[in-house]
Amino acid sequence: MGAMNDVSGSGAPAADLDVLIVGAGLSGIGAAAHLRERCPDKSFLILEARDDLGGTWDLFRYPGIRSDSDMHTLGYRFKPWTGRNAIADGASIKAYIAETAAERGIDRDILFGHQVLRADWSSQNARWTLLVERTADGERRHFTCNFLMMCSGYYSYAEGHRPTWPGEDQFAGQIVHPQFWPEQLDHRDKKVVVIGSGATAVTLVPAMAKTAGHVTMLQRSPSYVVSRPGVDGIAERLKTLLPAKAAYGLTRWKNVLLGQFFYGLARKKPARVKQRIVAMARAELGAGYDVDRHFTPSYDPWDQRVCAVPNADLFDAIRQGRASVVTDTIDRFTRTGIRLASGEELPADIVVTATGLKISLAGDVAFTVDGAALNFADTMNYKGCMLSDVPNLAMVFGYTNASWTLKADLVSDFVCRVLRRMDARGTPIVVPRRDPAVEQEPFLDFTSGYVQRALVMLPKQGARKPWKLHQNYTRDLMLMRFGRLDDGTLEFRRAPRADELAGRGKQAA
């Protein structure tokens, strides 16, 4: 570890590290584990704004919180998931992350309650300088590092996407957002309306329906909902036949390849896959249910993320009458509920606005490169983890069609390869150089509202590799773990002298 010193009046750094990791969730703990194993000589520290690790799985506390990705792919490549449930609840996922950190001593390398405010790159010093605020008392400190890994997720922890409607101030009940769930909220025997149709809504509805008087999922338009087994029978069988690591590895690859197959099928034959998904919903709900209205989206499968529900729990709650789905738009709130555009009124004691996330790239940190403000929208994404003409920076952004951790593992592995190459060459700076001939495309080809709202602030991707985002684990595996580092794009170089920097400044002027 680098020397830890108190900040003095002279502005001396609190720590100088080889690598700083921002965020102690799945990505950050995974990045630290890779560094410890593959770059044991590198000093590192994790800066985490919250008071505990876990990221998403510490923040969200709403009823039924779970992943809609299976744990054999959401888990780390290097640490088998040994739980029986393939679709795990939030507390189990957080415990898995904490266990990973404790086993490798990473929990001792986390500074909790440290919010990164800005990050400034100096080519002359080949270092990032981070301004960090201690949340407990507001004290500000500086940390420096050679390489910066942003593992802070993709959405704002401070606010979610929260539309407003007329008449909210007249509503006599309680309005809550899933991202900020009140610890003491009692929904037992209450009438609940959940606004939304995405992954959060389809999780909340069956969980709350267990004890609520009734839960209504109010959606403007339907999403694709698919039932998946809560327990992976093949995985459980493999556990009895093979060592844990081998069983986990085989299950992981089975699920990766199955996921890629069904995603590929959906993109090639969308009408056929749509028909199949809708037929599955109809089989769950019965011939008398209006599946066409409530479970038949207007878009093709995987234009937005497909919602997975374990053991058909949402469909069960609807069949049993404990929950219902209404497809309509909101006219206004009333004192006792919500009036819809159709004129129908939904009575409610509690309204849950499961209306989505607000994308926040790199945790709203302000970046500069050699004194110039960095605008992510002006950059192009390199191999899904670095940015054009931005030195010594990697960002983790997972897949939209598969588990987040699959990509996070690849990014951490790639960063370790890059760091080792930098050491071998004695070059403290690495930067992807943009080819102006490469046509740019939107960062994500996804129609979900939270993505469309954020495209203006996201980097671009290119029309061909290494700038293309494949959204395909096996292709990325070949590109990032086995692909050449000397690809004509990634530039390894020494730190420039002060007079060289001055010359560049005059040329730019």
Transcribe 28-71 into DSSP letters: HHHHHHHHHHH-TT--EEEEESSSSS-THHHH--STT-B-SS-H
Q: Can you give the pLDDT at residue 54?
A: 96
Mean pLDDT of the 244-251 span:
96
DSSP β-ladder status, 110-112 and 44-48: parallel
Q: What is the pLDDT of residue 390?
A: 97
C-beta separation of 430 from 418 below 8 A = yes
Q: Which of 211, 165, 169, 170 is nearest to 192 (CA)?
A: 211
The boundaries of every CATH 3.50.50.60 domain in the chain are 15-158+358-508, 168-353
Check residue 132 and report its DSSP letter: E
For the segment 336-374, what is each residue's pLDDT rounded down to a tens digit?
Answer: 999 999 999 999 999 999 998 888 888 789 999 999 999
Cα dihedral 159, 162, 164, 167 in deg (nearest 10) = -90
CATH for 15-158+358-508 (3.40.50.1100, 3.50.50.60, 3.40.228.10, 3.30.2320.80) = 3.50.50.60
45 φ, ψ to 5°? -150, 145
d(CA 297, CA 274): 9
Q: For the packed helices 233-241 and 244-268, what is the interaxial angle rounded to 10 degrees?
A: 150
- Please tell me whether residue 467 adopts helix, strand or coil conformation: coil
Two tokens at 408?
Answer: 């996070």
Confidence label for 501 from pLDDT (cuts 50, 70 and 90)? low
Candidates 378, 377, 400, 388; CA nearest to 456 is 377
- Say what the pLDDT of residue 292 is: 96
114-122 and 110-112 strand pairing: unpaired
Q: Which CATH architecture has domain 168-353?
A: 3-Layer(bba) Sandwich (3.50)
Cβ-contact 149, 415 below 8 angstroms: yes
* Beta carbons of 281 and 295 less than 8 angstroms apart: yes
Q: Which of 59, 55, 4, 3 is nearest to 29 (CA)?
A: 55
For the chain, percent of residues with pLDDT exceeding 90: 81
Distances (CA, A) of 22 to 5, 55, 108, 376: 19, 11, 15, 17
* pLDDT, tens digit, 9 for 90 and up, residues 142-177: 999 999 999 998 888 888 888 999 999 999 999 999
The answer on pLDDT for 508 being more than 50 is no
Read off the pLDDT of residues 462-478 as tens digits, 9 standing for 90 and up: 989 899 988 899 999 99
| pLDDT band, very low/low/confident/very high, at 495 (cuts 50, 70, 90) | confident
pLDDT tens digits for range 270-328: 999 999 999 999 999 998 999 999 999 999 998 888 999 999 999 999 999 999 999 99
The pLDDT confidence band at residue 6, using thresholds 50, 70 and 90, is very low
3-class DSSP assignment, residue 496 = coil
Structure confidence by residue, pLDDT tens digits, 95-115: 999 999 999 999 999 999 999
User: Closest Cα to residue 496, out of 402, 411, 431, 429?
Assistant: 429
pLDDT at 22 over 60: yes
**DSSP per residue, 246-281:** HHHHHHHHHHHHHHHHHHHHHHHSHHHHHHHHHHHH
**What percentage of residues in the chain have a pLDDT greater than 70?**
93
Decide: pTM greater than 0.85: yes
Return the pLDDT at 362: 80
pLDDT digits (tens, 9 = 90+) for 36-94: 999 999 999 999 999 999 999 999 999 999 998 999 999 999 999 999 999 999 999 99
Q: Residue 342: helix, strand or coil by DSSP?
A: coil
Find, among 74, 25, 30, the residue nearest to 47 by Cα: 25
Are the C-beta atoms of residues 354 and 198 closer than 8 Å to each other? yes
